[in-house]
Amino acid sequence: MVTAPSPGTSLEDVDTPALILDLSILERNIATMHDFFRGRPVKVRNVTKGHKCPDIARRQMTADGAVPYGLGCSKVSEAEVMVKAGARDIRMIEQVVGRAKVARLLALARRVHVIALADDPAHVAELASAAGAAHVKLDVMIEIDIGLNRCGVMPGEPALSLARTISRESSLRFAGIGAHEGTIADKNREIRVARTRERVQRLVNVREDIERAGLPVGICGAGSTTSWNIAGVMDGITEIDPGSYVLMDSGLAETIPDLEFLPAIAVAGTVISHAAPERAVIDCGHKALGRAADGGMPKVVAPAGVQVTRLNSEHGILQVGGGAADLHIGSRVSMIPRYHGSVVVAYDQFICVRDNKVECVWDIAARGCHQ
């Protein structure tokens, strides 16, 4: 059983491996996102699948510019955790399929406002049947494929036909449309703006098609971390649903340096072996730092002159340069994950620090929520 450090503990005394959350950077990231939308018609619906932490979610869903007490969740089990934490408006960003999951979704819908997601008549039929039997009026949005080639009905007649199908079901209410334009990660902002607008305009065009057919589109949602202030100012968009911005990671920060958000998390490790002058080994491997397949090796931020070159399950191998001559057994190493999503789920808690001292410990309560 891992013992959490007490408030006031020096960061140097936190046992490793540990997932460290810098509260000042977290607060800065949330303020940057939400201050932009304060007073604007478009609202922020934060997606929780990356951080999976109720304490972070509470700060997001009550921030200026947010959908009040609103969140976006991938899994029903994740949504259950967030409702327990105070969320009152849940939009599913993944289709819920199967009797057990739909039943849990409807149980949530009796307690708070829930919006399900569909991209096929089969989704509509299952949701309508279950909602009717449960005497629940369920809101349903349509996911549109605007270029990601993942989930989503095609724009045009297929999308319009699906909207009509939902509106004909007495147990369902057509709530709107949404799309994920994908991580448009070009360093050239002009190119990123053009590509984002091209894709998101396809969604706006679908909204216009559906409204011309006489069906109101309450929500038209798009806008990820890489396009938050591009999609978020386009006519026709009502919500953006970013996720990664709040924690960030070295991969996204290096790929798009003008994003305005900073990495808020780091993994702290300890040197356990230094058998060769040019090589050291730390006590965290890919179980604690994420696999290289997630985008590459983590970035060492301290000490300077050190790189992670290989990750085994519990060992991280470091290449030691001339600038790190004082690295020794017991030295601390701080690393920013390449992709935060696969690292967060390896830990039970964020060790939250401010000015290099532990301020609090937050549970990652939804870390095992895959259903």
Same domain, 42 and 83: yes
Going by C-alpha positions, the residue among 157, 159, 76, 63 that lies closest to residue 111 is: 76
Which residue, 246, 278, 299, sits at the end of a domain? 246
- What SS3 class is residue 195? helix
Note the helical H segments in the chain.
23-37, 54-61, 76-84, 99-109, 121-134, 157-168, 189-212, 228-231, 250-255, 286-289, 340-344
pLDDT value of residue 293: 67
Going by C-alpha positions, the residue among 25, 23, 77, 31 that lies closest to residue 55 is: 23
Note the pLDDT tens digit of each residue in 80-102. 999 999 999 999 999 999 999 99
Alpha carbon distance 227, 239 (integer Å):
13
Same domain, 242 and 269: no
Same domain, 65 and 161: yes
Same domain, 77 and 149: yes
Contacts of 244 (CB under 8 A, 6+ apart): 50, 224, 225, 252, 340, 341
Q: Within a domain: residue 174?
A: yes
Same domain, 34 and 139: yes
Same domain, 222 and 281: no
- The CB density around residue 312, as the number of other CB atoms within 10 Å, is 11
Q: How far is CA 348 from CA 18, 94, 307, in A?
A: 10, 24, 26
Same domain, 319 and 234: no
Do residues 359 and 23 lie in contact, with contact meaning Cβ atoms separated by under 8 Å? yes
Same domain, 346 and 230: no
Q: Within a domain: residue 255?
A: no
pLDDT value of residue 1: 59
Alpha carbon distance 314, 286 (integer Å):
7
pLDDT value of residue 331: 95
Same domain, 210 and 270: no
- The CB density around residue 276, as the number of other CB atoms within 10 Å, is 9
**Total tally of structural domains belonging to the chain:** 2
Q: Within a domain: residue 254?
A: no
What mean pLDDT, rounded, does the chain reach? 94
Parent domain of 78: 24-246
Alpha carbon distance 256, 263 (integer Å):
12
Q: Within a domain: residue 4?
A: no
CATH number at residue 162: 3.20.20.10
Q: Within a domain: residue 323?
A: yes
CATH number at residue 343: 2.40.37.20
Same domain, 286 and 349: yes
Same domain, 106 and 48: yes
Which residue, 192, 218, 246, sits at the end of a domain? 246
Same domain, 170 and 218: yes
Q: Which residues face 219 on adjacent strands?
A: 176
* DSSP-assigned letter for residue 144: B
Q: What pLDDT tens digit does each residue of the chain (371 aa) get?
A: 568 899 999 999 999 999 999 999 999 999 999 999 999 999 999 999 999 999 999 999 999 999 999 999 999 999 999 999 999 999 999 999 999 999 999 999 999 999 999 999 999 999 999 999 999 999 999 999 998 889 999 999 999 999 999 999 999 999 999 999 877 777 788 998 999 999 999 999 999 999 999 999 999 999 999 999 999 999 999 999 999 999 998 888 888 888 899 999 999 999 999 988 899 999 999 999 988 767 789 999 999 889 999 999 999 999 998 766 688 999 999 999 999 988 999 999 999 999 999 999 999 999 999 99
Please list, residue by residue across 4-40, b when 16 or more beta carbons sit within 10 angstroms of its beta carbon and e when fewer do: bbeeebebeebebbbbbbbbebbeebbebbbebbeee
Which residue, 246, 281, 314, sits at the end of a domain? 246
Do residues 198 and 179 lie in contact, with contact meaning Cβ atoms separated by under 8 Å? no
Residue type, 155: P
Q: Within a domain: residue 106?
A: yes
Q: Within a domain: residue 219?
A: yes
Q: Within a domain: residue 5?
A: no
pLDDT value of residue 316: 96
